[in-house]
């Protein structure tokens, strides 16, 4: 299963970083290049435990929908979102927050599995992992800017 791990240091309180990370509105700002939009479930404000959001976005020229649910939540230290429906076989995204010397260290662990057997694995290797990595970096840069 491909895994992406990112560490982002933010000069802001942990609670601010935690809330910005679960903001539907900020997520849409950070994904303007894919025209990502919340179309069902929590579609603005902050998403919380056991809540879902359905995203519609354009990736690789195809419009796709993905429903994600917050399955674990411990404010302001940790939350997990998991794909419920969508093009992937699975997505599991851990968000961890730690306060150090007045700053917040934000850690993302993004696990995903593509469908289509060996063809999905080749696609992961050739392009998909890098594409997702860039999206997560942009998202974290936007969180850092707003924090």
**H, E, C per residue of the chain:** CCEEEEEEEECCCHHHHHHHHCEHHHHHHHCHHHCCEEEEECCCCECCCCCEEEEEEEECCEEEEEEEEEEEEECCCEEEEEEEECCCCEEEEEEEEEEECCEEEEEEEEEEECCCHHHHHHHHHHHHHHHHHHHHHHHHHHHHHHC
Q: Tell me how far apart the alpha carbons of residues 40 and 56 are, in angstroms, rounded to a whole number.
A: 9
| Angstrom distance (rounded) from CA 140 to CA 146 | 10
Longest distance between any two alpha carbons in the chain, whole Å: 46
Domain at 3-146, CATH class: alpha beta
Which neighbouring-strand residues pair with 70?
81
Residue 125's pLDDT is 78
User: Range with the lowest mean pLDDT among 14-18, 21-25, 130-134, 142-146?
Assistant: 130-134
Residue spans of the domains in the chain: they are 3-146
User: pLDDT value at position 38?
Assistant: 96
CA dist., res. 47 & res. 129, Å (int): 25
pLDDT tens-digit map of 33-69: 888 999 999 999 999 999 999 999 887 777 889 999 9
Least confident of 7-11, 28-32, 104-108, 122-126: 122-126
When the pLDDT of each residue in the chain is averaged and rounded to a whole number, the result is: 93
Question: Is 80 exceeded by the pLDDT of residue 116?
Answer: no
């Amino acid at each position: 299963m491909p895994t992406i791990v990112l560490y982002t240091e933010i000069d802001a309180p942990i609670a601010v970083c935690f809330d910005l990370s679960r903001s539907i509105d900020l997520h849409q700002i950070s994904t303007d290049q894919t025209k990502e939009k919340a179309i069902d479930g929590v579609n603005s404000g902050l998403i919380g435990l056991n809540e879902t959001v359905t995203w519609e976005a354009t990736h690789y020229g195809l419009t796709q929908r993905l429903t994600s649910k917050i399955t674990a939540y411990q404010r302001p230290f940790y939350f997990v979102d998991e794909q419920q429906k969508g093009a992937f076989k699975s997505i599991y995204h851990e968000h961890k927050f730690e306060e150090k010397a007045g700053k917040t260290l934000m850690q993302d662990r993004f696990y995903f599995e593509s469908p289509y057997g060996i063809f999905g694995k080749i696609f992961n290797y050739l392009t998909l992992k890098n594409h997702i990595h860039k999206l997560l970096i942009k998202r974290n840069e936007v969180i850092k800017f707003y924090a």
